[in-house]
Structure 1
Amino acid sequence: MPLPEPERPGAGPTLEHLLALIATGTLDVVAAPCGTGVPVSDVVLHDAGEERDEDAWAATGLVLLAVGVEVSSPDAAGVLCAADRAGAAAVVMRRGARGPQAALLEAAEQGRTALLTRPPGQGWTEVLGRLRTALAHSLPDGAGGAAGVDGLRLGDLPGLANTVADLVGGAITIEDPQSRVLAYSRMAHEPDPLRRLTILGQEVPRWRVAELRESGFFQALWSTDDVVRRPADDRYAERLAVAVRHGSEVLGSIWAAADGRPLAEDAVAALRTAGRAAVPHLSHHRTWGRVAARAREGAVHALLAGSVQAAHDVGIVRGRPYAVMVAEAHDGREPAPGDLGDRVLDVLALQAAAYRPGCVTARSGQRLYVLVPAADDETDPARTLLTAARSVPRGVVFAGAGPVVADLAELPASRDAAKLVVRVLRDRAARLPASGAGSAVASYAEVASEAAVLRLLDRMDPLWGALSGPVHAMLEHDRAHGSRYGASVAAHLDAFGDTAAAAERLHVHPNTLRYRLRRARELFGVDLADPAVRLLADIGLRLRAARP
C-alpha cells in the first residue's frame, strides 16, 4: 500500500513535494512502489563503493544520489537493494544510453524505495542543489521559517537583509562561506570603516579574514548553530554572527553590526531565528544563482555572435559604444580548475566586473571574453584591464582588445579583432621563444600590421595548399624526417639575415646554421638570395606555424 502523504503540521516534506518544486526534466520516476508521498528528511550524495556495515547502516527518509551508478550497470540492482534495506526514501541513478536492466526493475518492484533517474545533461551538484533548495523551502513552520521574515520571495537576499535589520536593530550583511558579500541592508547611518570596506570590495578584506581565522572566531562560528559575539573595540562596533547551515553543509553567515545605536535587547534571539529562516533563501541562491550565471554567459556569447536581442538579458545598453577584450590561457588547452591559467582568467573576470558599470564577462574554455563600455570619445576603454593582465607572469595568458564599435551589431567584429591580437601575440611567442620579446597584452591598434598579415594568411591558406615548389618540398621533408631546415630558414628571416643572431636564437653554432641553409638550397632549391623565394618561404613558414 502506498504510504499516505503527510498532512500534519511538522510531518515534513514528501518526495512528491520536492519533485513538484524542482525544474521539469531534472529527475524522472522509474518506480515508486510506495508512491511519492513518502517523507524525506535529507538529500545526500551516496558513494555506492564505500564500505559500510550493512546491518548498522541507516538511511531512513534519505534521498540518495548514487554517484557513479548508471541504471544499465550490473551493480545498480545491488545498490538499490542495499538502500532499500537501510530505509532510504529514494535512490537517484544516472540514465545512460541504455535503459535499466531487468534485475534493477525487479528489485524496484519488490522493495519500498523509489527509483529515480537523472538525464546525462544534469550534473550531480546541480541535482543536489535543486533538491536541497526544494527541501529547505518545504520545511514546516518552525523548522526553516521564522516569524517576521515570511512572505519574502525565495532568494530575495537584499529583502532578507533589510527585514533582519529591522528585527535586530542594526546593519546586516549576508556572506557566503568564503566571506564574499551576497547582500547587505540599507544604511540609516554612516557605516563604520570595516563595513564600508566590505561593501565596496564585495568581500571582507583579506587581512580581516586572517584576523578572524587566527583568533578562532571562524572556528567558533562554523561549529555552532548559536550566535557568536565579537565585542566592540576602539576600531569597530560590536558584531553578532550566526552560521546558516542545512544539515552539515554551511551555506553562509549573517552578520549584525551596531548602526549608530546599540543592538536591540533581543538581537541575539532575532539573529538566531534569522539564521534558520535564511536556509531556503541561501539554498536557492546557491543553486539558481549558478543557473542564472550560466544563462547570462550564454546571452553574452549570443551577443558576441551577433544576436542584438540578447542585450536585454545581459544588461547591455543599446546605443552605447563597446569594445571586446579577449584573454586566453597560454597553452591553448582547457584549463583545469585551480591551475594558474584558470585562476588568472577568474581574477581578470572579477577585475572586469568591478572595473566599470556595464562591463560583462563570459568564459569559453581557455578564453575569457569581456565587453567593456566606452565613454564618449574613448578609444581604448580596455586599457586598464590590459594593464592588469600585463602584471600576470609572462607566458600564462595573452590578452587583446578589439576596437570600439558604436553599434551592438558590430560586436562580433570587435571580438574577431581581439582574437586576432591574441593570435599575433601567440605567434610572436612561438617565433621568438628564447628572447621573450614583446608583451603578452596589446590593443588592436598596437598590432594592426601583424593582424592584417594574419588576415591575408587566412585567405591564402587554401591557395597555398594547392601549390607546390621548393618551400613546399622543404616543409614536407621536415614533416616526414623531423629535420630542421624550415626552422633554420625562419630564424634567418626573422634575424634579417644576421647569421650569428639567428644561430643564437636556435641555440646552434653559426657554422651549423650556414650548413643547413646551404643544404636547403642544394636539396630543395630554397635560395634565400632570391627575393621571391624569401617571400614564399616567409609565407609558408608562417602558415605552418599557424597550423603545425
Structure 2
Amino acid sequence: MSLPEPPSVALGRIISDLGSTLVEVVAGRPDPDVAVAGVLIHDRLDEPSRLPGAIVLGVGVYGTDQVAALVDHAHGLGAAAVMVRSPAVADAAVADAAARTGLVVLGLTPGASWAQVAALLRSLISADAAMAGPVPGPDASFGGDLFALANAIAGLLDGPVTIEDRGGGVLAFSARQDEADDSRIATILDRQVPADKLRALEQHGLFRALYRSEDPVFIAGIGEKPRVAIAIRAGGEILGSIWAVVPGPLNDDRTQAFREAAGVAALHLLRQRSGADADRRLRADLLATVLEGGPAAPRAAARLGLAAQCACVLAVAVAGAAADDPAAPDRAAAGDRIAGSLALHLSAIHPHTAVASLGSVTYAVLPCATDEDARRVAETFLARVGTKVPTVVGIGRLAARPTDLRRSRSDADRALRVLQSRAEGARTARNPEHPHRIARFAEVYAASLLDELADRMAVDDDRPAGPVVRLREYDQLHGTQFTDTLAAWLDTLGDVVAAAAKVHVHPNTFRYRLRRLADLAGLDLADPDARFEAMVQLRLAPPP
C-alpha cells in the first residue's frame, strides 16, 4: 500500500488567490501545476530542514546577488518557489538563477508581514487538503474551499469579497481587491479588520443589524466605498460574515444569490471546525502510535510527515506545585494551555511538527539536526510562556529514523522525571524559582540512572545498608549532624573550609566531626570506592 501524499496546493492556485494584493511574479515562469507542500523561512545563520515543495521566504534578503544566491540554495532544498520583499529587481543574475533552477521568484507587497503571509500560505495548503472532497450544499459550483467561494461570490456580486469570522479576522478573500478602498487593502494585509473600523461599525449598530437579519445589509458612509454584508449562520449560531464592496444596494437576484452563498459558507466553516477537531484527534493517535513503536510506527510517522528527517522528542509537563497547595494552579487546565501554546509555537518553526497530550504529559516530535537545536527551541518557548506556570521540558536523543522515536520518547520521559524531582526538591526547599526547567537526556543520564535504581530498590524492598545508613541512624538517635557533614565534604570535593562554611561551623570543628564520623561509620575517606559508594547512597536516600 502506498503512503499518503503530504498536503499540498498548486502554485498557480496560490498566485491566483493571493493575486496582486499580496504577491507578484518577479522572475521565472510559474508552472501552475507545481505542488506547494509547505513554508520554509530562510535564515542565513540556521540551515533549515529540507522540505521538498516548500515556498522559501527570503526574510531580510535584499539585492540581486542575495536573491540569486537564495534561488540556488532553495533549489538545493527541493523548494517549489522563492518569495522576497518587493520591490525586487529582476536583473540578469536573478533571471538566470530562475531559469537555471526552474524556480519562480515571487515578490511580497510592501506592508504585508512575513508572519501573516506564512500563516496564509499554510492555511491555503491545509484548506486545500481538508476540502479536497465535495462539499455538500445547495450549489456545488461555489468551489471546494473558502477562497474559491469568495471568488465565486465576487463574480456573482461583481465586487471584491472577504469572508470574516466574528472578530473581524479574514478567513478568505477574493481577487480584485485592488478595486476596493484603502481600508479593505489594510484589512487584507493584516488579515484583520482595523480596530477603528470595527469600533465605527459597532457605534453605528451595524453588527447588531447584521446578526439580527437573515438578509444582506447595505452599508454606506462608513468607508470610502459602500459595502453589503450578510451573516453566516448555523442554526442560531453566528459563525462569521461575508463582506462585498459594491456600487449600491443589490437587486433581488443578487440578494438571493448572496443568501445562498452565506449558506454554503456556513457549511464550509462547520466542516472546517469539525475537520480541525478530527484532525487533532487523528494526529494525537498517530503520534501515540509513533511513540509506542512497533510495526505501525513507520507508516504513522509518514502520515505525520516525519519519515524523512531526523527528529527529537520533547516531553513537556507542569511541575513544582504540590497537589494540596491552595495557591497552585489547576494542573489539568494549565497543562491544556501549555499544550496549545506549544503546538502553536512549534507550528511556526516547522510544518511537520507533531504535538499531542498523552496523559499529563505533552509530547512533541520536532524535526531538527541536533538535540541542541531542540534545546534552543525549548528555551525560546519557555521564555515566551514565562514562569507563572512551572513548566519543565525533557528532550530525548536525536532519532535518525521513525523507529528510533520510541527510544527518544523514553529518553525525554527520563529527563522529564529528573526535572520534576528537582522541581519538587526546590519547592520543598521553598525555592520556587529553581533553575532546572530544560534538560537533554545526555545532561541528566547519571541522575536518571539513580532514579531507576531507587525505583528498583523500592519495588524489591531492598533496604540500603552501609556507612551512610549507620551515620543516619546515629544522627537520629543522638541528634548529631554527621550525615550533613559527610555530604558537605563530598559536595565540595574535600575542601574543608568550603564544607565548613556550608554547614556553618568552624573548620577545626568540621575536621573533628569528619574524623569522628569516619570512626563511627567505619568509612575510609581516603578510599575512592568508599567515597563513591557514600555519594551514591546519599543521592539515593537524601536526608529528610
Shorter chain as normaliser: what TM range? 0.5 to 0.7
The root-mean-square deviation of aligned C-alpha atoms, in Å, is: 5.4
The answer to whether the 8 Å contact 2:313/2:364 transfers is: yes
Secondary structure of the residue that 1:438 maps to in structure 2? coil
Give identity over the alignment, percent: 24
Distance in structure 2 (CA, Å) of the matches to 1:171 and 1:487: 75
* 8 Å CA contact 1:361, 1:370 repeated in 2: yes
Cα offset, 1:342, TM superposition: 3.5
Whole-Å Cα distance in 1 between the matches of residues 229 and 483 of structure 2?
67
Which ranges of structure 1 fall in alignment gaps of 5 or more residues?
1-144, 199-203
Does the CA contact (< 8 Å) of 2:160 and 2:175 recur in 1? no
Residues 241 and 253 of structure 1 are in contact (CA less than 8 Å); yes or no, is this contact kept in structure 2?
no
- Decide which of 301, 305, 309 is 1:311's aligned counterpart: 301
1:184 lines up with 2:172 in the alignment: yes
Aligned in 2, Cα 1:338/1:223: closer, same or farther, shift over 3 Å?
farther
1:422 matched to 2:411? The reply is no
Distance 2:489 2:194 in 1: 51
Equivalences for 1:472-483 in 2 at 5 Å? 472=469
Of the candidates 220, 229, 232, which is equivalent to residue 208 of structure 2? Answer: 220
SS of 1:542's equivalent in the other structure is helix
Which residue of the partner structure matches residue 95 of structure 2?
none
2:384 corresponds to which residue?
A: 391
Contact 2:232 2:242 in 1 (8 A): no
Query: Shift of residue 453 of structure 1?
Result: 3.6
Q: CA deviation at 1:397?
A: 0.7
Distance 1:210 1:471 in 2: 71
Give the AA of the match of 1:309: R
Larger deviation, residues 351-360 vs 526-535: 526-535
What SS class does the counterpart of residue 455 from structure 1 fall into?
Answer: helix
1:324 matched to 2:313? The reply is yes
- Specify the code of the residue in structure 1 equivalent to 2:383: R
Distance in 2 of aligned mates of 1:217 and 1:528:
87
CA contact (8 A) 2:291 2:405 kept: yes
Q: Give SS of 2:385's match.
A: coil
Q: CA deviation at 1:426?
A: 3.4
Report the equivalent of 2:278.
291
Secondary structure in 1 matching 2:364: strand
Residue pair 2:228, 2:244 contacting (<8 A) in 1 also: yes
Determine which of 153, 157, 161 is the counterpart of 1:171. 161
Distance 1:460 1:148, change over 3 A: closer
Q: 2:466 aligns with which of 469, 479, 488?
A: 469
2:162 partner letter: I
1:330 Cα deviation after fit: 1.9
Matches within 5 A, 1:206-245: 215=203, 220=208, 223-226=211-214, 227=216, 241-245=229-233
Residues 178 and 448 of structure 1: CA distance in aligned 2, closer, same or farther (over 3 Å): farther
Q: Distance in 2 between matches of 1:435 and 1:544?
A: 22
Q: Distance in 2 between matches of 1:355 and 1:224?
A: 42
Tell me what 1:276 maps to. Answer: 263
Aligned to 1:94: none
Q: Distance in 1 between matches of 2:256 and 2:480?
A: 78
Retained in 1: the 8 A contact 2:418–2:447?
A: no
**Shift of residue 454 of structure 1?**
1.6
2:263 corresponds to which letter in structure 1? R
Q: Distance in 1 between matches of 2:265 and 2:499?
A: 67
Report if aligned partners of 1:386, 1:400 keep a CA contact under 8 Å in 2: no
- For 1:34, the equivalent position in structure 2 comes to none
Give 1:302 deviation, angstroms. Answer: 0.9
2:237 to 227, 246, 249: 249
Residue identity opposite 2:361 in structure 1: R
* Structure 2 stretches lacking a partner, 5+ long: 1-135, 179-183, 324-328
Output the TM-score relative to the length of structure 1.
0.53
What SS class does the counterpart of residue 435 from structure 2 fall into? Answer: coil
1:286 to 1:529, Cα distance in 2 relative to 1, 3 A: same
CA offsets 1:274-314 (integer angstroms, 9 cap, x no match): 33344444444444532332122110111122211112432
- 2:298, 2:337 → 1: CA distance? 31
- 1:337-356 aligned within 5 A: 339-356=333-350
In 2: Cα distance, 1:419 partner to 1:231 partner? 60
Verify the 8 A CA contact 2:225 2:247 in the aligned structure 1.
no
TM-superposed CA distance for 1:253, in Å, is 0.7
State the SS of the aligned residue for 1:192.
helix
Letter in 1 for 2:188: R
- Residue 535 (structure 1) aligned with residue 529 (structure 2): no
Q: 1:448 to 1:476 in 2, by over 3 A?
A: farther
TM-score normalised according to structure 2 size: 0.53
Evaluate the alpha carbon distance shift between residue 393 and residue 428 of structure 1 in structure 2; reply closer, same or farther with a 3 A threshold. same
1:474, 1:486 within 8 Å by CA — same for their partners in 2? yes
Does residue 361 (structure 1) correspond to residue 361 (structure 2)? The answer is: no
| d(CA) in 2 for partners of 1:476, 1:493 | 19
Equivalent position of 1:194 in the other structure: 187
- How many residue pairs are counted as aligned between the two chains? 383
Q: Provide the C-alpha distance between the structure 1 equivalents of 2:320 and 2:533, rounded to a whole number of angstroms.
A: 29
